[in-house]
Amino acid sequence: MAKVFVQPRKARPFWFGHPWVFSGAIDRVKGDPRDGSVVELCDHEGKTIGSGWWNGRSQIRVRLVALAHEGALDDALLVKRLDRAIDLRLDAMRLQETASVFRLVHSEGDLLPGLVIDAYREAAGETEGALHLVMQVTALGMTAHLPALIARLVERLAPASITERASGYAAEEEGIARADAVHHGDAPVHPICVVENGVRYWCDIRAGQKTGFFADQRDNRRAVLPYVKGKSVLDAFCYVGGFGLPALVHGGAASVHFLDSSGFALELAQRGAASNGVAERATFEDANVLRVLDRWGREGRMFGVVMVDPPKLVHRRMELEKGLRLYHEINRKAVGVLEDGGILVTHSCSQHVSESDFEHMLSTVAKETGCRFQLLHRGTQGADHPVMLPHDESRYLKSRVFRVVKPPEGFVPFRPDGPPRSAPGNDG
Ligand code: SAH
């Protein structure tokens, strides 16, 4: 087995199990490891830290999978970890009692680096009750263990199907080209219905985004319910209706306008509204959120609650500044269509945007618009997307609810670099 030696004074996080060894932390390599093969990770003196997967094409050169005391990196170890991941969802969290869709395996958060598995149990239709598992593989080394893991899933959960969805990230960053594939059973060729918090959703595990549904927002969807009663709500970046449908079904919203640039997602949202019997309070629009918000801002169309949940805008650290500007623009425009005292529900699912980056960006929006942002709720990804310390990088979802108090019409916000020319009483 090849040995990878960490640079002097860089080994500390790895002794505590941090799983990402970037190229810059590596001192030297003994042997010529094949991409995807198991290597021994050592500190610079040669003491064994553990074993992991080598990938010379990835910025994450070694994924540390097993510390020395945890045993050999083999099928048996990963199957044991798979069992523990399933136990956590079914026995400890009892998620199956409130949701028929949730994350079964969350990569590093379950000590199964580069593997995500979502579970979907059908809640309506001809094959009601059927369980479908959808996986994504983002580490080359994980691929060798898939047969053993799939066999264990079949043995333990008896799913109707196991599908793999190719990940664009894995292809680009890890150089692993995997295609969509059905590994077991028959995957549904049509959209399926699932239930979360008593709301029916339609999603498509073969053609939808990611694995088909964003289960990470489950708790945040519930957290906004108290604020929507009797309100006109905008669900921008709605996908299949994640936030807007519960607002109608349980929150008592007067109306929800669903807005997304994917006609396919909107069709599923529409189907969800019909299945939940709330279609008469729902409207749907296939358009670019930024353009629509601009237009409404000019026309003066207002909402009592505005929810924005854009896709991941920062994929690499070097895109952070640009991404934050885009988040800023989205939120500023969202505030532009919010009534005085209205509720802003806003999210970022970019791992590179920290909690403090996100709040700083939002406080800049507040300053520039002259609004007061009153923080009512701070949320993150659900517990089925756990973070295994010290790997804080897997905490990616940020959710905030604010009441927004608007300034009087014509108010010009203070600018530290001198008031703008148009400020009243300031042109001499
Ligand atoms: N809120 C959703 C998840 C949103 S995922 C839920 O709870 O399930 C992000 C969504 O943004 C996707 O559906 C994508 O189609 C949409 N999207 C991306 N860019 C967009 C744009 N410029 N205008 C409108 N929708 C956009």
Domain count, the chain: 3
116, part of any domain: yes
In a shared domain, residues 239 and 296: yes
204, part of any domain: no
Q: 289 CB under 6 A from ligand 1?
A: yes
Probe residue for ligand 1, chosen from 260, 288, 333, 399 as the CB with the greatest number of ligand atoms within 8 Å: 260
Instruction: Show the tokens assigned to 50.
Output: 């553990």
Q: What angle do CA 84, 222, 355 make, to 5 degrees?
A: 75
What is the whole-number distance in angstroms between the Cα of residue 306 and the centre of ligand 1?
Answer: 14
Helix 289-299, helix 320-336: angle, nearest 10? 40
What is the whole-number distance in angstroms between the Cα of residue 289 and the centre of ligand 1?
Answer: 9
Digit-by-digit pLDDT tens for the chain (428 residues) are 999 999 999 999 999 999 999 999 999 999 999 999 999 999 999 999 999 999 999 999 999 999 999 999 999 999 999 999 999 999 999 999 999 999 999 999 999 999 999 999 999 888 999 999 999 999 999 999 999 999 999 999 999 999 999 988 777 778 888 889 999 999 999 999 999 999 999 999 998 778 899 999 999 999 999 999 999 999 999 999 999 999 999 999 999 999 999 999 999 999 999 999 999 999 999 999 999 999 999 999 999 999 999 999 999 899 999 999 999 999 999 999 999 999 999 999 999 999 999 999 999 999 999 999 999 999 999 999 999 999 999 999 999 999 999 998 888 887 766 555 554 544 43
- 3-state SS class at 421: coil
In a shared domain, residues 168 and 41: no
In a shared domain, residues 80 and 104: yes
What per-residue confidence (pLDDT) applies to 414?
A: 79
Q: 238 CB under 6 A from ligand 1?
A: yes
Nearest Cα to Cα of residue 60 among 394, 350, 395, 389: 394
Does the annotation mark 349 as catalytic? yes
In a shared domain, residues 44 and 134: no
- Which residues, other chains included, contact 37 with Cβ-Cβ below 8 Å and sequence gap of 6+? 2, 53, 54, 141
Distance CA(251)–CA(221), nearest Å, equals 10
In CATH, what number is assigned to the domain containing residue 313?
3.40.50.150
What is the whole-number distance in angstroms between the Cα of residue 253 and the centre of ligand 1?
Answer: 21
What is the whole-number distance in angstroms between the Cα of residue 100 and the centre of ligand 1?
Answer: 22
Catalytic residue among 42, 193, 203, 349: 349
Domain stops at, among 53, 70, 87: 70
User: Half-sphere exposure of 262 toward its Cβ, with a 13 Å CA cutoff?
Assistant: 15
Q: 262 CB under 6 A from ligand 1?
A: yes
In a shared domain, residues 128 and 142: yes
H helix runs in 91-238, sequence order: 146-157, 168-174, 218-223
425, part of any domain: no
Nearest Cα to Cα of residue 138 among 41, 33, 55, 24: 55
Which atom of ligand 1 lies nearest, measured to the CA of 240?
A: 8
In CATH, what number is assigned to the domain containing residue 134?
3.30.750.80
In a shared domain, residues 130 and 234: no
In a shared domain, residues 63 and 82: no
pTM reported for the whole predicted model? 0.94
What per-residue confidence (pLDDT) applies to 260?
A: 98
In CATH, what number is assigned to the domain containing residue 25?
2.30.130.10
Distance CA(122)–CA(100), nearest Å, equals 7
18, part of any domain: yes
Helix 146-157, helix 75-87: angle, nearest 10? 40
What per-residue confidence (pLDDT) applies to 125?
A: 84
In a shared domain, residues 375 and 258: yes
- Residue 187's domain comprises 75-192
419, part of any domain: no
What per-residue confidence (pLDDT) applies to 422?
A: 52
417, part of any domain: no
Q: 174 CB under 6 A from ligand 1?
A: no
The DSSP 8-state label assigned to residue 46 in this structure reads -
Q: Which stretches of 7-84 are assigned E, i.e. beta strand? A: 20-22, 26-30, 38-42, 48-54, 60-67
Distance CA(29)–CA(5), nearest Å, equals 6
What is the whole-number distance in angstroms between the Cα of residue 238 and the centre of ligand 1?
Answer: 6
- C-alpha distances out from residue 38 to 20, 113, 339, Å: 14, 13, 57
Distance CA(36)–CA(205), nearest Å, equals 28
Q: Are the CB atoms for 151 and 75 separated by under 8 Å?
A: no
What per-residue confidence (pLDDT) applies to 28?
A: 97
Q: Whose CA is nearest to atom 23 of ligand 1?
A: 288
In a shared domain, residues 302 and 386: yes
In a shared domain, residues 396 and 285: yes
**What's the per-residue H, E or C state across 364-400?**
HHHHHHCCEEEEEEEECCCCCCCCCCCCHHHCCCEEE
Sheet containing 60-67: which strands, arranged edge to edge? 20-22, 60-67, 48-54, 38-42, 3-6, 26-30
Nearest Cα to Cα of residue 99 among 239, 219, 224, 269: 219
Which atom of ligand 1 lies nearest, measured to the CA of 213?
A: 8
Domain stops at, among 35, 53, 70: 70
> Token match 């053993």: residue?
148
In a shared domain, residues 66 and 79: no
198, part of any domain: no
54, part of any domain: yes
In a shared domain, residues 258 and 357: yes
